[in-house]
Amino acid sequence: MGNNPFASFAVGDNDDDSARPQGGLSYVAGSKQPPLNFITVSQLLDRACDQNGAGDAIVFADTDVTYSWYSLREKADELAAGLLALGIRRGNRVAIWSPNREEWVIAQFGTARIGAILVNINPAYQSAELEFALNKVRARVLIMARSQNNAQQRSGQNSKSASRKTSQRHGRESSDYIAIIRNLAPEIDRSTTQNGANGEFYAQRLPALKHVVVLGEGKNPAASILWSELLSLAGPAHRARVSGLSSKLDPDDPINIQFTSGTTGAPKGATLSHFNIVNNARFCAGAMQLTAEDRVGVPVPLYHCFGMVLGVLACASVGAAVVFVGETFTAAATLEAVSRYRCTALHGVPTMFISMLENEEFDHHDLSLLRTGIIGGAPCPMETMQRIMNEMNMEHVTVAYGMTETSPVSFQSSVDDSPEQRVSTVGRVHPHVEVKIVDSQGGIVAPGQQGELCTRGYSVMRGYWDDASQTREAIDAAGWMHTGDLATIDTDGYCRIVGRIGDMLIRGGENIYPREIEECLMQHPAIVEAQVFGVPHTKLGEQVCAWLITRNNVPIELDTIATFCDGQIARFKIPELIRVVNAFPMTVTGKPQKHEMQKAMMHELNRSSAS
């Protein structure tokens, strides 16, 4: 096996007393080993080159493009020099709006080489969302794809955006990014003689934006720059400056801004430092026991921490290869990529693994080299976990919990944890992280009792960009990040996520947490996935509704559900409304959108009552 700096380290080591609750309270502190590294993302790239420079760094299965760590660094330096030629300096914001492409990873490292802050734009964003994000951070450069096939994240949703052009290809919905940017900034179609040098222009609705860089070939707006042009823009002086600038960067500098989902208001820009994400990536790699010989399949999006940190940076920390299956996830493409490129690890959310296991071509793919990976984003049903371990050979798969604001992972299971522990818990606390579970008054609860999960340590974000009040609401004066997640920690230090504080529904004065009901429903042999939420009721306040995905779309009756749940959960928790659906509305990262389900259900109920 290759050199592994984490050979003696595993998150959640059952013999590690430091990860157990202390003082009879739900407070845990992670191990102090391995030590934190005070380095930048740029230095992490240099380390990957030192360790395995000629080895594969990134592989894009859909285009059959491969970069070694050496060639990735060379390309990142070309981009960095090109950005310098555009006038970009340390601390300036460079936004990227694209699905998973090779240019995304080059931009990730290229901006890091000169200390520019990469702003991740959700590929599903439409005109108003893009305008808000770019103006919030005052982005000077936007790197953008031409379009995005929204195979997953917009399912079950409708949009009335005037700037949105959609087409149906292979059942997918496509967003025309060029049309959207033209709608926001019509000035981009003026000839370059009417604008500044190197495509610089001024847009009334995007006053800070100076340059738009377009990926791929095709007809471009007059004032935009092609990616290939940007890479060749720099002169010798710009190229010579890159290494000098890189060596002067501070690991505490902000290097990445990621916008939260914004389901409870305008999106907030979580601002992460080099120190945040480099160390979180290292510890996630250690938990999986990755080495330079591993090849990690990544079907999750780069714009999110799952792809950017747990995929790219985790592999960079040990010199492993990242295999991207395509621009977006499909089960068929993922299985093909894992087999063809001989992946040893695979990341994903439970719905992705379920889709792969149910794929009709599943048995035709060689998954024999798979060993580990990360499951995150939602609870994984027991049967699915067992099939992942047995049929996909991922005996050492890990489960991780976190959020964008914590870089992202705070808890992760060990490769030695039982399947039951990996299904019912999210493992034990990461190194150098403190966690406490508090009640509504802020007091730490006893082990096993439920409360809000709060975390403190190196991984907590710098804050929300240009939003001091929201930052103060999230991070208290003592440095604790209040996650909004309800959780318990048992006497061995294993954490169980109960649900979101905002997901709780109240029926007839009784507090109900959907996660408990979902776990009960998914034990039914006909049910593959379940999502539970509340809908308004005139007498009870709310009533319990469940959306279900069943095997082969078989129908299931409400009486059947009631009989199955009776005796397992309290009767006031048993769903009173159910719908069998083909798919849930999802975010781009594969998380179910309960607010969209609730809106659809309320619309259906209102329509029924009106008729």
The answer to whether 408 touches 460, Cβ cutoff 8 Å, is: no
pLDDT tens track for 230-246: 999 999 999 999 999 99
Percent residues over pLDDT 90 in the chain? 79
**Domain extents in the chain:** 23-39+257-500, 41-149+173-249, 504-610
Distance CA 583, CA 564 (A): 23
pLDDT band at 152 (very low <50, low <70, confident <90, very high): very low
C-beta contacts of 365-370 below 8 A and 24+ residues apart: 365/335, 365/336, 365/338, 365/339, 366/339, 367/335, 367/338, 367/339, 367/391, 367/392, 367/393, 368/393, 369/342, 369/343, 369/344, 369/393, 370/338, 370/343, 370/344, 370/345, 370/346, 370/394
SS3 of residue 414 by DSSP: coil
Q: Are 568 and 534 in contact (CB under 8 A)?
A: no
Q: Residue range 377-402: average pLDDT?
A: 93
pLDDT-derived band of residue 604, with 50, 70 and 90 as boundaries? very high
Percent of the chain scored above 70 by pLDDT? 91
Contact 173, 149 (CB under 8 A): yes
Indicate if the pLDDT at residue 175 is higher than 60. Answer: yes
Q: For residues 536 and 500, give the distance between their C-alpha atoms in angstroms, rounded to a whole number.
A: 19
Any residues with CB less than 8 A from the CB of 57 and at least 6 apart, and which? 48, 67, 68, 69, 71, 72, 315, 316, 321, 322
The per-residue pLDDT for 193 is: 56
451-456 average pLDDT score: 98
Question: pLDDT tier at 315 (50, 70, 90 boundaries)?
Answer: very high
pLDDT level of residue 149 (50, 70, 90 thresholds): low
Q: Phi and psi of 232, rounded to 5°?
A: -100, 10
Length of the chain: 611
- Report the pLDDT averaged over residues 99-109: 98
Q: Which candidate, 363, 333, 364, places its Cα nearest to that of 348?
A: 333
The mean pLDDT value for 292-315 works out to 98
Q: What is the mean pLDDT of the chain?
A: 91
The four Cα atoms 331, 333, 336, 341 give a dihedral, to 10 degrees, of -120
Contact criterion met (CB below 8 Å) for 93 and 254: no
Note the pLDDT tens digit of each residue in 527-584: 999 999 999 998 889 999 999 999 989 999 999 999 999 999 999 999 999 999 999 9
What's the pLDDT score for residue 167? 32
DSSP strand pairing (451-457 vs 481-489): antiparallel
Beta strand extents in 404-526 (DSSP E only)? 409-412, 428-429, 433-438, 451-457, 463-464, 481-489, 495-500, 505-507, 510-512
Amino acid at 194: Q
Predicted confidence band of residue 155 (pLDDT cuts 50, 70, 90): very low
Tens of pLDDT, residue by residue over 231-289, are 999 999 999 999 999 999 999 999 999 998 654 567 899 999 999 999 999 999 999 99
3-state secondary structure of 218: coil
Q: What is the pLDDT of residue 199?
A: 73
pLDDT average, residue stretch 358-381: 94
pLDDT score of 413 more than 90: yes
**pLDDT band, very low/low/confident/very high, at 410 (cuts 50, 70, 90):** very high
Q: Residue holding tokens 């604008």?
A: 195
In sequence order, the 6+-apart residues with CB closer than 8 A to the CB of 74 are: none
As a whole number of angstroms, the distance between CA 216 and CA 177 comes to: 12
Architecture of domain 41-149+173-249: 3-Layer(aba) Sandwich (3.40)
Helix, strand, coil percentages for the chain (3-state, nearest 5): 35, 25, 40
Q: Which residue, 412, 474, 442, 462, is CA-closest to 30?
A: 412
Query: pLDDT tens, 4-40?
Result: 544 445 554 545 677 899 899 999 999 999 999 999 9
pTM of the model: 0.88
Q: Name the architecture of domain 504-610.
A: 2-Layer Sandwich (3.30)
Q: What's the pLDDT score for residue 24?
A: 94
Domains 23-39+257-500 and 504-610 share a fold: no
The secondary structure of 385-406 as a DSSP string is HHHHHHHS--TEEEEEEE-GGG
**515: Cα separation from own chain's centroid:** 21
**In Å, how far are 10, 190, 258, 397, 473 from 280, measured between CA atoms?**
14, 44, 16, 18, 24
pLDDT at 192: 61
Instruction: Identify whether the C-beta of residue 137 lies closer than 8 Å to the C-beta of residue 257.
Output: yes
| Preceding omega of 536 cis (within 30 degrees of 0) | no
| Poorest-pLDDT segment among 123-137, 192-206, 351-365, 408-422 | 192-206
User: In CATH, what is the architecture of 23-39+257-500?
Assistant: 3-Layer(aba) Sandwich (3.40)
